[in-house]
Amino acid sequence: MDLFKVKFLNEAADLINNLEESVLSLENNREDGALIEQIFRVMHTFKGNSNMFGFDKIGEFTHHLETIYDLVRAKKILLSQEIVNITLFSVDHIKNLLKEDKEQNGEVLAMHTHLLSAIKEIIGKFDENKIEHTVTNLTDLTGGKMNTFHISFQPNKDILIRGNNIFYLLDDLLALGEGKAFPKIGNLPGAHEADFTSCYLEWDIFLATSESESTIKEVFMFVEGECELKITCISKDCNSFKEDKFFKEASGFTLFSNNSVVENLLKQANEKASMPADAKLSSKTVLSNKEASNIKVSSDKLDELMSLVSELVTTQARLSQFSEESKNTELNVIAENIEKISRRLRDNTFNICLVPIGSMHTRFKRLVRDLGNELNKEVNFKVEGAETELDKTIVENLTDPLLHIIRNSMDHGIEKAEDRIKSGKPANGSILLRAYNSGANVHIEIIDDGAGLDPEKIKHKALEKSLINEEDKLSKKEIFDLIFLPGFSTAETVTGISGRGVGMDVVSRNIKDLRGDIVVESTLGEGTKITIILPLTLSIIDGLLVKIEHTHFIIPLSAVEKCYEVKHEVFENNFKELIILDGEQYPYLYLRDEFNLKNNTPTIEQVIVVKNNDKQIGISVDSIVGEYQAVLKPLGKLYRSVQTISGATILGDGSVALVMDINQMIKQHSIQYKELAYEK
């Protein structure tokens, strides 16, 4: 059963999400009958499944919740705000109950009792409901002792139409003890008038059994409404039945042997009705008839696939390098083909691992709703581009940062309704989450129409906390970036929601861990836009393989703009670390200096112009090897503090190439040579 339990839990998570989303939509559209119907159905399924897989508590809980929606469905009670609130609390509670270890937790138990009583109170207001409860069957007291029953069974003519088989039924009955069934054929018409789908027989059954009357009735459970059934206890023991005398007493019934013509007739009729005449197709057709549909795959399997593809790509790189060195044309062709195929395989696998951002949608909606209530602010939350896809690992790690940003917007950004009206804004605030693809990146914007960030206030705060110096000249953007520093918090009073100063720096670190970037734009009085820029995937990137002395480096291809050849003396005789390429000035980073490689300087060097956001810089390397698919491996603990290197990859010959973090390089460069930062 445990195997199924896992399935159940997965499914339960889906159902609960579905429920939560439906309830949230229902809140804004309370008359929507289809939605109520859907909620009821989800609860119903959920109740049934929980009971079946041993989650009795959830089953019982959902049963009461379902009753409410049954009443709402039948328009017997009105869907009040109270009900919506209780439902949402219940959703949270059920989530807790699903985690079995939490089930015994005192807090959860208290919540359980509290919610249950609240739910019952709502139901209790509606008296009629109380009648609906099923009355427990009173078992009669004849069980345990041998009794002989006479059962008169008169099926309706159409009893066979619903697929019941009377012979199975009689078999079951006689299996309860010792007995005999005597058919009455009085109603049987002539062969030419008989309708093979009708039942013309009636039975008298004598049964000696230790079972109770209710057990006998149970045999007839499915045909209860389709026959006349009389069960009488004719003797308190079974002896009279076994004696011939009994049969004599029972004379007047026609005796038929088991293989009688009538039985065959009926059997045939029944089989004919239950089996299509020309049904001879093999089960293979079933498979081909099935439409292509989605399947669920556990994420472990996907991770495994992903890591296998990574290994394949690494091995393929070795093959390519080997074939190039071997100068064997045939091998070259094969290696090239494998490269092509592995690239496609890689892209396909990426695609499989992508999930739409919309999958987080419900959580955000719920947060905005709950916080809105708590802070007494009405906020409309909208999502654009919910279908935009990202690697599932990124999406998983993105939820918390996004939740935090939205929380900040709700708490600090959006003003109170009266303040909003004073400044000529609509009373309801709005938060927009917009996601879209841009090259090899995905942009996610959180835009609110709140008060916006006040650069003066931020600067003041930063000075107070000595994060900056008085003489620092900061652009507006740099001031906004200060909010990502550890220990920075502008909230005047610390609320339970935000303002503890541990927020935005964690957000920015999380985003950095995903190799992403975060940008703040804000206009005082009009609102704030926070843009998160993320790579599509984390594990393999297209890169430019370059060489400085004997060390290989990888520059992500998405950052590369142009490459130039430059004579070494240009670097020695330049002014203010600027280089002129194609008539334009670029600040540059001389990597030989950066990485402390001072020997064997080549006379001609390469400058690669890289771009991040709106900044471009040139970086110098000895030579460019070519394009390269790099499987990213994290650097060990010791090197985690090296910011300009985001990881490493293994080359075809087994040596290691370091992957540059262009974003960080540009940032560090502009800090070092602030006045030179070349903004475009």
Partner 1 sequence: MKKTILIADDSESVREVVSFTLENAGYNVLSSVDGEDAMKHLNGLDIHLVVTDLHMPKMDGISLIREIRSSEHYKGVPILFLTTESQNSKKEEAKIAGATGWIVKPFMADKLLSAVQKVIR
- Interface stretch with partner 1, choices 2-10, 445-453, 478-486, 521-529 (CB under 8 A): 2-10
Question: What DSSP element (H or E) covers 429?
Answer: strand 429-438
- In angstroms, give the least distance from the CB of 229 to partner 1: 16
Q: How far apart are the first and last CA of the chain?
A: 63
- In angstroms, give the least distance from the CB of 63 to partner 1: 8
Binding to partner 1 by residue 21, rule CB under 8 A?
no
- In angstroms, give the least distance from the CB of 291 to partner 1: 8
CB closer to partner 1, 99 vs 340: 99
Separation between Cα atoms, residue 150 and residue 213, nearest integer Å = 11
CA atoms within 13 A on the CB side of 136: 3
Helices (H), 125-233: 166-174, 213-219
Residue with structure tokens 């008298």? Answer: 204
CB closer to partner 1, 119 vs 560: 119
Identified binder of partner 1 from the candidate list 13, 110, 161, 463, rule CB under 8 A: 161
Q: Which of 644, 646, 650 lies closest to 619, judged by CA?
A: 644
- In angstroms, give the least distance from the CB of 305 to partner 1: 22
Separation between Cα atoms, residue 446 and residue 433, nearest integer Å = 5
Identified binder of partner 1 from the candidate list 283, 376, 469, 493, rule CB under 8 A: 283
Binding to partner 1 by residue 134, rule CB under 8 A?
yes
Helices (H), 327-391: 329-352, 361-375
Separation between Cα atoms, residue 388 and residue 540, nearest integer Å = 20
Separation between Cα atoms, residue 273 and residue 267, nearest integer Å = 10
CB closer to partner 1, 47 vs 407: 47
- In angstroms, give the least distance from the CB of 251 to partner 1: 32
- In angstroms, give the least distance from the CB of 65 to partner 1: 13
Please list every residue from 190 through 209 that binds partner 1, using CB under 8 A.
Answer: 197
Instruction: Tell me the pairing of strands 147-155 and 227-235.
Output: antiparallel
Identified binder of partner 1 from the candidate list 98, 273, 367, 578, rule CB under 8 A: 273
Q: Which of 537, 556, 560 lies closest to 657, judged by CA?
A: 556
Binding to partner 1 by residue 274, rule CB under 8 A?
yes
Separation between Cα atoms, residue 37 and residue 11, nearest integer Å = 20
Identified binder of partner 1 from the candidate list 82, 100, 121, 172, rule CB under 8 A: 172
CB closer to partner 1, 279 vs 638: 279
Please list every residue from 214 through 253 that binds partner 1, using CB under 8 A.
Answer: 221-222, 225
Question: What DSSP element (H or E) covers 68?
Answer: helix 56-73
- Interface stretch with partner 1, choices 162-170, 335-343, 404-412, 578-586 (CB under 8 A): 162-170
Identified binder of partner 1 from the candidate list 105, 156, 165, 214, rule CB under 8 A: 165
Q: Compute how many other C-beta atoms are within 10 angstroms of the C-beta atom of residue 151.
A: 23
Residue with structure tokens 């471009």? Answer: 616
Binding to partner 1 by residue 602, rule CB under 8 A?
no
CB closer to partner 1, 20 vs 448: 20
Structure tokens given for 51? 């009971």
Identified binder of partner 1 from the candidate list 51, 332, 430, 441, rule CB under 8 A: 51
Residue 76 sits at the vertex; the CA angle it makes with 73 and 81, to the nearest 5 degrees, is: 75
Binding to partner 1 by residue 292, rule CB under 8 A?
no
Identified binder of partner 1 from the candidate list 131, 138, 141, 275, rule CB under 8 A: 275
CB closer to partner 1, 51 vs 399: 51
Question: What DSSP element (H or E) covers 650?
Answer: strand 645-650
Contact indicator for 375, 411 with CB cutoff of 8 Å = yes
- In angstroms, give the least distance from the CB of 625 to partner 1: 50
51-71: b (≥16 Cβ within 10 Å) or e: eebebebbbebbbbbbbbbbb
Binding to partner 1 by residue 289, rule CB under 8 A?
yes
Q: Which of 354, 439, 436 lies closest to 395, judged by CA?
A: 354
- In angstroms, give the least distance from the CB of 66 to partner 1: 9
Binding to partner 1 by residue 270, rule CB under 8 A?
yes
- Interface stretch with partner 1, choices 281-289, 417-425, 434-442, 623-631 (CB under 8 A): 281-289
- In angstroms, give the least distance from the CB of 279 to partner 1: 5
Structure tokens given for 7? 């399935």
Contact indicator for 151, 204 with CB cutoff of 8 Å = yes
Kindly determine how many residues on this chain lie close enough to bind partner 1 according to the rule CB under 8 A.
Answer: 46
Residue with structure tokens 């800090």? Answer: 671
CB closer to partner 1, 4 vs 639: 4
- Interface stretch with partner 1, choices 52-60, 445-453, 468-476, 478-486 (CB under 8 A): 52-60
Binding to partner 1 by residue 276, rule CB under 8 A?
yes
Separation between Cα atoms, residue 271 and residue 165, nearest integer Å = 9
- Interface stretch with partner 1, choices 38-46, 395-403, 635-643, 661-669 (CB under 8 A): 38-46
- In angstroms, give the least distance from the CB of 20 to partner 1: 18
- In angstroms, give the least distance from the CB of 274 to partner 1: 4
- Interface stretch with partner 1, choices 164-172, 487-495, 543-551, 582-590 (CB under 8 A): 164-172
Contact indicator for 645, 562 with CB cutoff of 8 Å = no
If you ran DSSP here, which 8-state letter would residue 53 be given?
T
CB closer to partner 1, 63 vs 217: 63
If you ran DSSP here, which 8-state letter would residue 506 be given?
H
- Interface stretch with partner 1, choices 279-287, 378-386, 468-476, 634-642 (CB under 8 A): 279-287
Separation between Cα atoms, residue 518 and residue 534, nearest integer Å = 9
Report the side by side order of strands in the sheet with 615-621: 560-567, 604-612, 615-621, 584-590, 578-581
359-373: b (≥16 Cβ within 10 Å) or e: bbbbbbbbbbbebbe
CB closer to partner 1, 53 vs 484: 53
Question: What DSSP element (H or E) covers 106?
Answer: helix 106-124
Binding to partner 1 by residue 267, rule CB under 8 A?
no
Binding to partner 1 by residue 64, rule CB under 8 A?
no
Binding to partner 1 by residue 154, rule CB under 8 A?
no
Binding to partner 1 by residue 132, rule CB under 8 A?
yes
Identified binder of partner 1 from the candidate list 162, 230, 340, 344, rule CB under 8 A: 162
559-573: b (≥16 Cβ within 10 Å) or e: bbeebeebeeeebee
Separation between Cα atoms, residue 678 and residue 587, nearest integer Å = 6
Binding to partner 1 by residue 126, rule CB under 8 A?
no
CB closer to partner 1, 33 vs 163: 163
Binding to partner 1 by residue 184, rule CB under 8 A?
no
Identified binder of partner 1 from the candidate list 49, 147, 342, 510, rule CB under 8 A: 49
Q: Compute how many other C-beta atoms are within 10 angstroms of the C-beta atom of residue 253.
A: 14
Binding to partner 1 by residue 160, rule CB under 8 A?
yes
Q: Which residues bind partner 1 (CB under 8 A)?
A: 4, 7-8, 11, 41, 44-45, 47-49, 51-53, 59, 63, 132, 134, 160-165, 168-169, 172, 197, 221-222, 225, 270, 272-281, 283, 285-286, 289-290
